[in-house]
Structure 1
Amino acid sequence: MKKRFVIWTLILFSLYGLLLGLYFFQWTGVGVPPAYEGTAADPATFMTDRELQLSQEYSRYQNFLSFLGEPLEWIIYLGVMVFGVSLVFKNFGERISRFSFVQIPMFVLLLSTLTSILLFPLDYARRWLSVEYGISTQSFSSWMRDELIGFWVGYVIMALLITVLYFLMRKFQKRWWLFAWVLMIPFLIFMMYLQPVVIDPLYNDFTELQDKQLEEKILTLADEAEIPAERVYEVNMSEKTNSMNAYVNGIGSNLRIVLWDTTLERLQDKEVLFIMAHEIGHYVMNHLYWNLAGVIVATFFGLYFTYHLMKWSVRKWGGKFGFSKISDIATLPLFYLILTILSFVSSPVELAISRNAETDADRYAIEMTQDPEAAIGSFQELTVNGLSDVNPPALVKYLRYGHPTMMERIHMLESYQDVEIKKE
């Protein structure tokens, strides 16, 4: 079984990599459709030839690496079971302690560490590519610090969740997935409340916006939208990236309006105001809460299908992998495998919903600011600084993009501008 697994993995993954290479570097062309040529959405109108070349190269390499890495996590989880590593981790935890609240976090730590080590080369390749093309300005030591923070934050959260999950599996063999879902609801709300003030500051330094005139303008927009914000935060991202961003996140008293310092440095005030109006639009249209509701619904179906698929898988292959019941912690790689595959399968629907929400926020922002020129300019500048592909291949758009393409967004804004001109 082990030999067969290795051979078929090498054959199928090599074939997958070859097809990806052909798709991104041979079968998909570059450029824009004839209908967009010469418009504000045509990168040739706001990017130099060199910038355009770098954008196309960078996007292709990044997309190739992203899609190449998609099945690697699945292979790792499957390999951990095939080679008996899962049983080794389980036995190690049992030697350390007879208590499950020690054994389970230890298993999660060992599996997380192994997965991170095996995926590190791909993560480093993405980071190297970003540095080479001038997107990332972050030193290796700073990047590693963020990686380690992310690892330990993720570990603490997962260790807690998995410990509770496997307790429920032992206690309620047929309804553990339902009880787990019920407990996830307050946890997700709590994390949404906690994120801006506890987790985000672990990675970056947040200060009050230094430009008080701009802050007053942003707070005026927020006041018009009835957002209960008293200040705007600035985050130091220039030491890590040349990309630009802004966001509104959190709930209740922990709500935060945040601007990256790169956005402040590269955009004019009126362009910043459009970006902020877009983020305010998400708040006004309750996208934060709709997103939370979507995660809750997705979690329900994810756990439901995972329960049935795990039960079937354990019955069919459990003997070969060394476990006979779902509540055995050795099944954790199987749980991860099923959950990540379900997440991938459902991602086109989730991304389509996200793209629709982003379009609505763009419309809200242009209606609020009434400045199409600034709106178009902000997206053009975002494209140049991030070396974004304005017209990505269909596979990338539907399996990776939570936003409409830059071409679609700029074209929508230009169409709005044309309508306004005709009205005048």
Structure 2
Amino acid sequence: MARKWAAAAVGVYLISAAFMYWYLFYGGSGAIPSGLKGTAADPATFLNGRELLLSEQYSKIRNFIFFLSTPYEWLFYFLVLISGLSRVFERWAISSSKWKALQTAVYLFWLSLLSFAVSFPFDYVSYAYSKRYNISTQSFSSWMKDNIIDFWVSFGTMFILAGVIYWLMKKSAKKWWLYAWLLSIPFSLFMMFVQPVIIDPLYNDFYPLKDKNLETKILAMAQKAHIPTDHVYEVNMAKKTNSLNAYVTGIGSNSRIVLWDTTLKKLNDKEIMFIMAHEMGHYVEKHIYYGIAGYLVLTFAGLWLIAKLMDFMVRKRGKLLQLSDVSSLRSLPLFLLLAGVLLFASSPLTNYASRYQETRADQYAMKMTHDKNSAVKTFQELTRAGLSEVNPPLLVKWFRYTHPAMLDRITTASQYKK
């Protein structure tokens, strides 16, 4: 029985992979509308022939890796369950100690280590292609260091989450999901607070912006927007990537305006000021609070659904999954499988909301700077640096794009009037 289900799962995965290959390389259209050809939004007007070719190739490869690796993770968790590996890990954990916390740590270590090993090929292929297309400038040793940091940060976070959730399952079989949701609120806010000062510095060095003249301009704009900040931070990303970025992170006293050094090197002051105005637009329009509210609603619905689905699947397919009790630690792969599927299924909705907020931030930046030429140049340079698709296929936009397509952003900026 387990072999048949495993074969069926692998078959479904291969069929979905074949469909996505056809869609991305042959079926999905990313052509520029005829009415926009020759305009500033047409990549043929600001990319040379080689850049156009590389952009098309790299975008398709990157998207294909995403649509392969996402269901691959679900397949992994399913096979861990039906093969009995999860039960083996739980047995090792129980035999290692009488302390529940240590048992959770041992189980998570083996599950995380196996997950790291089976996902490594996708991670490496993605890294290798980013090096080949000159997006990544990171050495293999530096890349591996970041992966190891990722492993332990994820392990520590999951240890807290899994420990609390499975303790709640033991205490309240019916309402554990509600209590978990209530506890997730302060935990999420705490993680947002410590992210800029504890987690981010594990990967990169952050320091005050070296260009004090530019910092003065940015802080003056922040003051005009009533944003309480005294510093702008720079991060040394040039040793890792040629892409450009800037962002506002953290909440409360730990909120930061951050610029990648690649952005500072490739854009002029006017273009950087447009990016900063965009980031400030998120603050002014309170997008972080809307984001938190949306996250809480989706988490509430997601945990409720996971609880119902886990009960149903253990009741109906417990023998296949080798699970007799939802509160058993070996059911964690089922929890992660359902969470991954639900996150993917909800991504068109969450990405749509994110694109709306990014559009609003673009509009705010235009009103703040009244500089559509710098806006257009910024979007064009972002496209060039990241070899991005100006007009991605529909499924890519739905499931991957948290920002509007560059076709839309450039067109809107070009048509802006004071």
Number of aligned residues: 418
> In the alignment, is the contact (CA less than 8 A) between 2:243 and 2:262 conserved in 1?
yes
Secondary structure of the corresponding residue to residue 234 of structure 1 = strand
* Structure 1 equivalent of residue 125 of structure 2: 125
* Structure 1 equivalent of residue 163 of structure 2: 163
TM-score (norm 2): 0.98
Cα 1:302–1:29 shift into 2, 3 Å: closer
- Of 374-383 and 98-107, more deviation after overlay is shown by 98-107
Give the distance between the partners of 1:318 and 1:31, measured in 2 at CA.
48
* Structure 2 equivalent of residue 210 of structure 1: 210
> In the alignment, is the contact (CA less than 8 A) between 2:10 and 2:75 conserved in 1?
no
Superposition map of 1:188-227 within 5 A: 188-227=188-227
**What is the CA-CA distance between 1:109 and the residue it aligns to?**
1.6
The runs of 5 or more residues in structure 2 that have no matched partner are none
* Structure 1 equivalent of residue 10 of structure 2: 10
After superposition, the C-alpha distances for 1:185-222 in whole angstroms (9 at most, x for unaligned) are 00000111111111000000011111000000000111
Cα 1:325–1:392 shift into 2, 3 Å: same
TM-score (norm 1): 0.97
1:144 aligns to 2:144 (yes or no): yes
**What is the CA-CA distance between 1:140 and the residue it aligns to?**
0.5
Superposition map of 1:230-241 within 5 A: 230-241=230-241
User: How large is the RMSD of aligned CA atoms in angstroms?
Assistant: 1.0
Give the distance between the partners of 2:7 and 2:64, measured in 1 at CA.
23
* Structure 2 equivalent of residue 177 of structure 1: 177
1:270 aligns to 2:270 (yes or no): yes
Give the distance between the partners of 1:22 and 1:56, measured in 2 at CA.
15
Give the distance between the partners of 1:157 and 1:385, measured in 2 at CA.
33
1:387 aligns to 2:387 (yes or no): yes
> In the alignment, is the contact (CA less than 8 A) between 2:29 and 2:392 conserved in 1?
no
* Structure 1 equivalent of residue 295 of structure 2: 295
* Percent of aligned pairs sharing the same letter: 49
- Of 142-151 and 25-34, more deviation after overlay is shown by 25-34
**What is the CA-CA distance between 1:334 and the residue it aligns to?**
0.7
Give the distance between the partners of 1:321 and 1:30, measured in 2 at CA.
42
> In the alignment, is the contact (CA less than 8 A) between 1:105 and 1:160 conserved in 2?
no
**What is the CA-CA distance between 1:6 and the residue it aligns to?**
3.6
Secondary structure of the corresponding residue to residue 258 of structure 2 = strand
**What is the CA-CA distance between 1:119 and the residue it aligns to?**
0.7
Give the distance between the partners of 2:330 and 2:356, measured in 1 at CA.
40
**Aligned AA (1:238):** A
* Structure 2 equivalent of residue 324 of structure 1: 324
> In the alignment, is the contact (CA less than 8 A) between 1:311 and 1:326 conserved in 2?
yes
* Structure 2 equivalent of residue 304 of structure 1: 304
* Structure 2 equivalent of residue 259 of structure 1: 259
After superposition, the C-alpha distances for 1:351-384 in whole angstroms (9 at most, x for unaligned) are 0000000000000000001110011111111101
After superposition, the C-alpha distances for 1:215-248 in whole angstroms (9 at most, x for unaligned) are 0000011111111111110000000000000011
**Aligned AA (1:410):** I
* Structure 1 equivalent of residue 32 of structure 2: 32
Secondary structure of the corresponding residue to residue 71 of structure 1 = helix
Secondary structure of the corresponding residue to residue 258 of structure 1 = strand
**What is the CA-CA distance between 1:30 and the residue it aligns to?**
4.6
* Structure 1 equivalent of residue 360 of structure 2: 360
**Aligned AA (2:371):** D
**Aligned AA (1:292):** I
Give the distance between the partners of 2:248 and 2:18, measured in 1 at CA.
41
Secondary structure of the corresponding residue to residue 257 of structure 1 = strand
1:400 aligns to 2:400 (yes or no): yes
Secondary structure of the corresponding residue to residue 237 of structure 1 = coil
> In the alignment, is the contact (CA less than 8 A) between 2:82 and 2:322 conserved in 1?
no
After superposition, the C-alpha distances for 1:111-163 in whole angstroms (9 at most, x for unaligned) are 11111110110111111110000000000000010111011011101101110
1:286 aligns to 2:279 (yes or no): no
Give the distance between the partners of 2:37 and 2:321, measured in 1 at CA.
57
> In the alignment, is the contact (CA less than 8 A) between 1:351 and 1:402 conserved in 2?
yes
The runs of 5 or more residues in structure 1 that have no matched partner are none
Secondary structure of the corresponding residue to residue 240 of structure 2 = coil
Give the distance between the partners of 1:89 and 1:287, measured in 2 at CA.
42
Give the distance between the partners of 1:49 and 1:349, measured in 2 at CA.
35
Give the distance between the partners of 1:188 and 1:151, measured in 2 at CA.
19
**What is the CA-CA distance between 1:106 and the residue it aligns to?**
1.5
> In the alignment, is the contact (CA less than 8 A) between 1:30 and 1:56 conserved in 2?
no
Secondary structure of the corresponding residue to residue 247 of structure 2 = strand
**Aligned AA (2:232):** V
After superposition, the C-alpha distances for 1:298-335 in whole angstroms (9 at most, x for unaligned) are 11111011110111011111133332221111111111
* Structure 1 equivalent of residue 374 of structure 2: 374
> In the alignment, is the contact (CA less than 8 A) between 2:135 and 2:241 conserved in 1?
yes
* Structure 1 equivalent of residue 48 of structure 2: 48
Secondary structure of the corresponding residue to residue 415 of structure 2 = helix
> In the alignment, is the contact (CA less than 8 A) between 1:249 and 1:288 conserved in 2?
no
**What is the CA-CA distance between 1:169 and the residue it aligns to?**
0.3
1:243 aligns to 2:254 (yes or no): no
**What is the CA-CA distance between 1:100 and the residue it aligns to?**
1.3
Cα 1:275–1:384 shift into 2, 3 Å: same
